[in-house]
Amino acid sequence: MSSLELHDEPLAGVKVFASRVVGDERGFFARTSDTDVFRAAGIDPAAFVQESQSRSVKRVLRGLHGRDVLQEAKLVRVAHGAIHEVIVDLRPWSPTFLRTATLRLDDREHLQVYVPPGCVHGYQALTDVADVCYRMDAVYAPDRTLYLAYDDPELAIEWPLPDPIVSDRDRAAPTLAELRPRLADFFGATAPPDTCTSASSMGVIA
């Protein structure tokens, strides 16, 4: 049995990995990366070019963010604390177009999620401190960042904690109705060649 396994695919191309945690009175051990497991899931580990860490205090809400071109996949995990993670599929050609996946990422279960290009994601910190680590396969390009309102009325995302702490930039993000006419320009009206558009599960994991 591998110490890291593909656990679920709640949206097309969105992959959730689970670590087998070994712990005792001293602490724990969990593998967070495995080249063979990632390659078997269709992810090239060598493609990741940047890794970052973000710290948030309880109730902070970051998102929804992505890129306005079919680039920049992310592999997201939590090193300390817990977050409520949300992913929205904005690819017009995807079988899960405009579907939303939610899951809890924390330092106990050690799940991590691969967010493919064309999806936006965001999270709310559930603990006093939450450290989020993410690897990206494209160099950060702030001028290409795509913002989507975290409180969009059409998506009606249920964030778990009241009175979220949100940046002015995220509070001013456009709605889905405002972005929808441009999504085909951003991500194409049809799937790129060799793009897998299947999802093993169409549901939402909580």
Please indicate whether residue 150 is annotated as part of the active site.
Answer: no
Task: Reply yes or no on whether 65 is catalytic.
Answer: yes
C-alpha–C-alpha distance, residues 87 and 139, integer Å: 21
How far does the chain reach from its first CA to its final CA, in angstroms?
Answer: 25
Task: Give the Cα separation of 177 and 157 in Å (integer).
Answer: 15
Retrieve residue 169's tokens: 């930039």
- Single out the catalytic residue among 114, 123, 134, 147: 134
Helix (H) or strand (E) holding 185: helix 183-187
Catalytic, out of 65, 84, 110, 121? 65
Active site residues: 65, 134
